[in-house]
Amino acid sequence: MKILIVGAGLSGAVIGRALAEAGHQITIIDSRPHLAGNCHTERCPETGVMVHVYGPHIFHTDDAEVWDYVNRFATFRPYENRVKSTVGGQVYSLPINLHTINQFFGRTFRPDEARAFVETEQADHSITNPQSFEEQALRMVGRHLYEAFLKGYTEKQWGCSPADLPASILKRLPLRFTYDDNYFSHVFQGMPEQGYSAMVERILDHPGIDLHLNTPYEAAMAGRAEHLIWSGPLDGYYGERLGRLGYRTLDFERFASPDTEDWQGCAVMNYGDADVAWTRITEHKHFAPWERHDGTVCYREYARECGPGDIPYYPIRLVKEKALLGEYEALAAAEKDVSFVGRLGTYRYIDMDVTIREALDMAAQFVVARPGTTRNIAKG
């Protein structure tokens, strides 16, 4: 079966490899000059540092099958994401943990004391069923910690009040009453030794896959395939004819120095104060601590509304966007021989391991289906 896949990111690569191994003829196109989508990595020619071009991507999962899959195509080195935050002229560790609480309040709590302090003296018990990000934060950590570490950062990241965001966004972040400052708690955590682009290149290295970069999708291409797998923006497939789905995008201000060995001492430094324009600074040599470089490469990140021609990063998914999404999902459900996959194709913020998991599952379903059967995994 001839299959056209639009997008050479994780979704397109994993699905393409699985279907090629099953004997299908796969053509993959991508409008960008590189593969791997937003997890594309490349060496800085000035310093030799491996740079995460579209912002840092740390691999973490509890899915052993997905972990085995990525290790099939890359050597993963141990890596734990330890984020710092500059707030009010001091540096704290994130996620909020026992060290953060003790430092912020000038105390020396033990775990049980800190838990009792936050629950009885900080948390807002008048909120019984948090509906918004702000309500969830006030109920979980109280106003002082919320305003220091969450409010300003969230306003900059999302461009709106935390009172307008769903509580589910904050529920993804841990609160710890130990000194564990590992941002994730998954069993498997690491970084591909040679970067994500090298891993995706190996995934796509199969005689049944024909890859074309710098190749935007044109409607006529679908006529030369028996099935189309679309990992681009869901509204983009329809020419945004019902309207544009809302995203936040990022601008990056790069600064590098071949003579500076270490600029900030950590990979990620958040800036929680609302009057600081950027959300964070990332120093990319720290994402590969097994390497040694005399120079360094850093990026300041600025979040803003995604406009035409910008790279979409985070789906907004507020009331207006969800209503529009429902209309596009109705169109997608009526398609024949078209599948919508991945973060953009399903308009969800999903981590890399979930992206790979869904791609493997979709490919497995496709293999057992009769040729021509629609496999559409767009989800609300």
Any idea which residues carry the catalytic annotation?
A: 172, 176, 248, 280, 301, 349, 351
Assigned token pair, 160:
């709106």
Q: Which residues contact 319 (CB under 8 A, 6 or more apart)?
A: none
Residues whose CB is less than 8 angstroms from the CB of residue 135 and which lie 6 or more positions away in sequence, other chains included? 127, 163, 167
Q: What is the DSSP string of 43-109?
A: E-TTT--EEETTS---EEES-HHHHHHHHHHSPEEE----EEEEETTEEEEES--HHHHHHHHT---
- How far is residue 75's CA from residue 63's CA, in Å, rounded to a whole number? 17
Chain centroid to CA 28: 22
Which amino acid does the sequence have at 164? D
Which DSSP state fits 132?
Answer: B
- The amino acid sitting at 163 is A
**What's the distance, Cα to Cα, between the start and end of the chain in Å?**
29
Rounded CA gap, 342 and 356, in Å?
9
